[in-house]
Each structure stands twice: as structure tokens, then as C-alpha cells.
Amino acid sequence: MANSASLNLKTFHRGVHPDEFKSISCTIPSRVLPLPDEVFIPLQQHIGAPCEALVEKGDLVKTGQKIADTKAFVSSPIHASISGKVMAVAAFPHPLGGKVPMIHIKRVGDEDDWQHLVIPDQWESSSREILQKIVREAGIVGLGGAAFPTHVKMAPPKDKPIDHFILNGCECEPFLTCDHRDMLENTDKILQGMAIMMKLLDIEQGTIGIESNKADAIEMMETRVQALNLNFTVQSLKVKYPQGAEKMLIDAALGRKVPAGGLPMDIGVVVNNVATALAIYEAVVEGKPLIQRMLTVTGDAVENPGNIIARIGTPFQVCVDACGGLKGDTAQVFMGGPMMGLAQYDLKVPTLKGTSGIVCLEASQLKSTRHYPCIQCGSCVSVCPMNLVPTRISRLAETAKYDDCKDWGVFNCIECGSCAFVCPSGIPLVQWIRVGKVKITEKQNKLKARA
């Protein structure tokens, strides 16, 4: 296949159409946030083992210096994002809730003294082992939100041959536009980052999936793919939530279905986000570890919404203040979009590697959803992209019938929130499904411990 036709809109089955709110910030070019006075860098920002701090209180650190690491394979090191002095290694509020060990660094002076990674002159001619090491050392994780260590994804087991790489530029969450801006502003870097990942996986076929509401990004990608003489397919996809979910994207772009309970590599596919591709380019070609990322600060409660490039660990308050601050009647602040994001109780929490946006909503945006009993309307069933019966799983979890929850596929749920979005009774379906998952896991762990 040569370049794809833009009119050929592929997609997955079911799903929902929330209001997009992307026009608030999608046309605003990104700007670099001034260096923050202090950063709080959590020791765990990724899926996998947490890191151990390599620095102590009072140490001076450089930008890009590795400050935490672990020997575990499924993990990712952490780097200082500003040059300064370590004030504390202690528990601070975390955007995922509660207090988590973090390294608190206070900036010293105005310098931004970088410590770069050791990189080869030409990535094209260096070995896969070297590249993989750089990706790990740079602390790169999936920047779409889940923050899965990228070097793990780039090293699939031998019995899982990979033949296709998909670059995820869907950005289906309402409000978020950072991937969109990245694709417009760093097109070449992203494409080269993708090429690096494909070299790592030793594969030829690559597809870039973009929702059709980002026509300029699709056009830009298509032109640059041709100009750089790359053999990538740019696939425009129907605007539908959750198009950017890994399994939905693979189904839409390639027509392959990830087996229930399986991973994309089971069907020979690896998916990564555009921001991750950019981070890989910056690490491999520019020698910069992952210490900053673009994020969207938006919502009607923000005075000047926009896309900012912020150092990781910058408190939310600093990001929001850089965008004009919050209006008086701010009611909710989320890390991430309104569909899968996490509500925050405090703006002291720092941005993480996986923070793609800070969405702030006014009280008027909130609809008081009264809770009604389930009327069995079946709306949740008709939108579930994973083909589940959310109303049933939710009711089973509510009545503590966890074994039945499992039979009804509770672990297949990707928690996209489509079911609770359409529920006319305002039932927190996803919440109950999470309860079911947690309870089943607890029970299994208990059994394992006893055995």
C-alpha cells in the first residue's frame, strides 16, 4: 500500500462520541514553560517496579542526571529535570492519589546544566542492543498515559514475532491536543523516532493512525513521510472514542483483534504514542533523557489555555499559573482527559511522564447526575468496545459476586468509560468494574500466598 486515501476512514465497532473541546487549544503552538523553581519527581511514574533513589538530601544534581533506578527489567530510570539541590527524598502528594516517595529538587541559579546520554554518532549504523540500552537509560515510557516502559515493549520475547508497528496519533480523549501539536511541530523528529523503534523491532511495516479531526496533522505526516522517503502508511481514522485505545486502534488500522486477555505482541503488533516516538528521537539523536514533555493545559476554567512543554515534576499549580491561572469557580481538575483522567484534590501534585494534560472545568460544566436504578436499557452494552455487558458486571460487583464478574469478562474491561458516559441512570459502572477487578486480584493473591 502506498499512501492511504484520507477518505478511507477505518474504525472499530461501538464506542461513543463525546464533545471534543479540542478547538480550545489545538491551534495554539506549544511554548516552553520557564524553568520551575522546584520539582517533585516521583520514584514511580511507570508500570512495573518502583525505582530507588540514587541521590540524597543535599546532593547537587544536573539536568538529565539519573537520580533513581532499579535492577528490575520492567521498570524505567528517573532523571533530574532541573539543575539544583535535592531538598528531600520523602512522600509528597501524587496525582494518582495519596502520598508517594518523591525526590524534591530546588533549582540553584538560572543555569540549565545538562548531563547528556552517551549516544552513537549515527543511530542507523549502531546495533540494536546499544539503541535499546539508550532507550532504557533515557527513562522512556509510553507517554500516552499508561506509562509502560518502552524498552520492554521494544524487546518482545522470541516466540512473539512482530511484523507491524503502529504509531498512535489518535488522541481520542476530549480536550487534549498535545499529540496533535507534537505531530505538527515535531513531524520529522517523530517520524525518525518511529524509524528508530522499527529498527529496534527489526520490522518494515509501519502505520501512523490519526483521527480525521486532525486533518492538518494527517496532511503534514503524509507530506513528510514522502519527503523523507519513508515507507509508512498514514491511516486516517474515524473520530470516535476510544479510537486511541491500543486494541481498538489495531482493530481499526489492521483489522487484527488482540486476543482477550492478550497483548498486541500476540498478534505481531507494537503500538506506541507519537510523544513516545519524539522522546526516543530526542534520546537517541540528541542524547536527552526523558525529562520534559508537551502537555495540554485547558478547560474553561483556565484563563489562557494552551500546550506547554514542561519539565517532569513541575507542580500542576505552576503549569496552570503559566496559562493565566484558574478562574474563580473552578470545580474540577483532572490529570488527563475527562474520560479516563484522574480528578485531583490538590494542585501541588507534580506532572508525571505520562501526564498528557491538565483539564480544569468550571462548576457550570458539571452536570449533577442523579443516580437512578438501572433500567436495563442496554446502552452500555451497545457502546462497549470490548463487547462486555457492563450493567451486569457492575451489578455483580455491587452484590459481591466476584466469581461471576470474572465469567462475564471483568478483566477484559479497558476502563475507557464509554458505558458510564452513556448510562442514563448515572451509575458509576467503571467504578464498580474496578472494584470487581481489585477484589478478584486480592482473592487470588490471598490464595497464592496460602499455597
In the complex with other proteins, the residue whose CB is nearer, 155 or 414, is 414
Write the CB contacts of 127 (distance below 8 Å, at least 6 apart in sequence). Answer: none
Residue-wise DSSP of 47-59: SSSPPEE---TT-
Phi, psi of 69, deg, nearest 5: -160, 170
CB 311 within 8 A of CB 292: yes
Nearer to other proteins, 72 or 377 (CB): 377
Q: How far is the CB of 428 from other proteins (least distance, A)?
A: 6
CB of residue 439 to other proteins, shortest distance in Å:
16
The least CB distance from residue 126 to other proteins, in Å, is 37
Query: Would you say 117 or 380 has its CB closer to other proteins?
Result: 380
Nearest to other proteins of 41, 429 (CB atom):
429
Among 60, 87, 230, 374, binds other proteins (CB under 8 A): 374
Q: Is 325 in the site for other proteins (CB under 8 A)?
A: no
In this structure, is the dihedral angle defined by the CA atoms of residues 81, 201, 260 and 170, taken in order, positive or negative? positive
Stretch that binds other proteins, among 35-43, 186-194, 210-218, 254-262 (CB under 8 A): 254-262
With CA atoms as reference, report the closest residue to 46 among 113, 123, 157, 141.
141
Residue 144 or 385 with smaller CB distance to other proteins: 385
User: Which residue matches cell numbers 530507588?
Assistant: 52
**Which distant-in-sequence residues (6+ apart) come within 8 Å of 61 by Cβ?**
55, 67, 80, 83, 84, 85, 86, 105
Q: Using CB under 8 A, pick the residue from 44, 344, 356, 394 that binds other proteins.
A: 344
At 358 the three-state DSSP class reads: strand
**Interface residue with other proteins, options 100, 172, 319, 340 (CB under 8 A):** 340
The answer to whether residues 140 and 276 touch, using CB atoms and an 8 Å cutoff, is yes
User: How many chain residues are in contact with other proteins, going by CB under 8 A?
Assistant: 69
- Is there binding between residue 334 and other proteins (CB under 8 A)? yes
Contact 185, 216 (CB under 8 A): no
**Considering only residues 376-435, where is the footprint of other proteins by CB under 8 A?**
376-379, 381-382, 385-389, 391-392, 408-409, 412, 415, 417-418, 420-426, 428, 430-431, 434
40 makes contact with other proteins (CB under 8 A):
no
Determine phi and psi for 292, rounding to 5 degrees: -150, 160
Query: Is the bond into 242 cis (omega within 30 degrees of 0)?
Result: yes
Contacts (CB under 8 A) with other proteins, residues 68-127? 93, 99
Phi-psi region of 376 (alpha: psi -120 to 50; beta: other; left: phi over 0): left
Among 373, 447, 449, 451, binds other proteins (CB under 8 A): 373
Determine if residue 133 is left, alpha or beta; phi over 0 gives left, psi from -120 to 50 gives alpha, anything else beta.
alpha
Q: Smallest gap, in angstroms, from Cβ of residue 279 to other proteins?
A: 25
Using rule CB under 8 A, residue 342 touches other proteins: yes
> Which of 392, 416, 190 has the alpha carbon at shortest distance from 285?
190
Applying CB under 8 A, the span of 82-90, 279-287, 336-344, 437-445 interacting with other proteins comes to 336-344
Q: Which of 345, 443, 445, 446 binds other proteins (CB under 8 A)?
A: 345
Grid coordinates 473541546 are at which residue? 21
| Residue closer to other proteins (CB basis): 18 or 149 | 18
331 binds other proteins (CB under 8 A): yes
Q: How far is the CB of 334 from other proteins (least distance, A)?
A: 6
Window of 154-162, 210-218, 253-261, 279-287 that interacts with other proteins by CB under 8 A: 253-261
* 210, 249 Cβ separation under 8 angstroms: no
Q: What angle do CA 336, 416, 212 make, to 5 degrees?
A: 75
Q: Which of 7, 29, 255, 367 binds other proteins (CB under 8 A)?
A: 367
Which of 15, 18, 84, 436: binder of other proteins (CB under 8 A)? 18
Q: State how far the alpha carbon of 209 is from the alpha carbons of 6, 252, 300, 329, in Å.
A: 11, 9, 29, 38
Binding site for other proteins (CB under 8 A): 16, 18-19, 93, 99, 174, 247, 251, 257-260, 262, 326, 330-334, 338-348, 361, 366-367, 369-370, 372-379, 381-382, 385-389, 391-392, 408-409, 412, 415, 417-418, 420-426, 428, 430-431, 434
